[in-house]
Chains A and B, each alone.
Chain A
Amino acid sequence: MKRVYMDHAAATPVRKRVLDAMLPYFGEDFGNPSTVYDMGSRVKHVIDEQRTKVAKLIGAKAKEVIFTSSGAEANNLAIKGAALPRQKKGNHIIISAIEHHSVLNSARFLERLDFEVTFLQVDEHGLVDPERLAKAIRPETILVSIMHANNEIGTIEPISELAAICQERNVIFHTDAVATVGNIPVDVNELNVDLLSLSGVSLGAPKGVGALYFRNNIRLMPLIHGGIQESGRRAGTENVPAIVGLGRAAELVEKELLDRSKQVRELRDLLVQGIHERIEQVKYTGHPERRLPGHASFCIEAIEGEALLFMLNQQGIYANTGSACASKALKTSPVLVAIGIPPDLAQGSVVFTLNITNTVEEIEYVLDKLPLAVEKLRSLSPIWRKKSAA
């Protein structure tokens, strides 16, 4: 059966050139980077080379990059790691209401340790209002975390503006850039952020690797204590093949990024236009312009998103209802609630995330199959029948 994969926010295939770079570190170059003999020091040097490549992709210095096991770990390290050493200074944290669970739940965990968290509301497109952020900052605010782009609705936040407000008030600013690094240009200096999380998943690198950018001299409490890896900020023997994969993917993406973004945006626009033309009562969620190039998210009236995914799956089409981590929970997406989508409409969420490997032919295939699936589901829906009869 034909396979059309349009869930690249959940996972991307490891690129051949990335895999080739990784393979020696499973075999002949297996040495532990912390050892003093050449088998280890060679690998340590290779890790530092990857650090430079990842840093270059985001405009950072190599010493400002910590490798982690995932974007989620990078978010945990940013939130808990920055908050805990500053608790004497202040106990107030601000995050947006549409953050990924790894940020939301890190903040909720800190609430149990007597921190206070403000969940900043967003507008109907999912944008955080800088004025609202400025008003929410108090003398005891120590940390603000606003995601660079939302993985469910694709909206890109005005990070440099938000970060400038925090800098003026001497508050640390973190952004979860898992959805953006590899999809649009990201520069930590242009964004003016103190902390930034990224993941291999969005880059064509393997799962199980991510990184946290921390501006030089930001004090961080490690989450994992142990040895001297990552300069004592994240212990545990390094996942060398995955780190090499991340570095190689970062190197490739850096060269291709602008062309890729343009090409993917064109494909996405074709899909969005086609869906609007062929399916009635569809809401395009997120910001119409300020959004990730490959991201198309909709709420389709009178259907269940999960049922639609299964029907698309039968046709070899792979999409999602929202965040890959949360979509199995069968709970109304907090992101869609936050942008004011009524709960019954939010049930019909479907998200397509494209990348460079998708083709016009695949878009046409989806535009052929999706309306049929929606029509079939609606024919079974009492809500739709009642609405049609009215």
Chain B
Amino acid sequence: MFIGNIMQKFMISFLLVISLLVNSGLVNAAADLDVNTPAISALKNSMQSRHAQLAAHYASGAIGLTADGLIAVRDATALPLKDRQGINALVAAENNDRNALYKEVAAGNGHPEWQGEVRNIFAGRWIDKAQSGWYFQRDGGWVKK
């Protein structure tokens, strides 16, 4: 019976420790997401410098924001001839960075499985913060903001 008592005490303290760990994990997750990892900073810089090239194309309607947090060519005829060749590569490079960013935000916070939700949040925020006149996708069609 003595051994049984020790066993009980051990298990109860084990339960306590586990529940403390679980709680602190939840509190941390709720407070903030870390977006200052080296990988995220590198992606931000790369996207920021690319934006200098993309900005005019958002404004002309040549490219637009998709519902899944990426960008796409909407109307290549809105592009100056000199830019038509390079636009697909530019869009692909941006989308690579965006996909990597969503992955990094999720994985960098210890939850790779959050990637899809992170993407959805970003998709909504890109569109909310877009300038008026830019195009975004809704229900499969392009809408001018």
Same complex for A and B? Answer no
B-side residues, CB < 8 A to A, are none
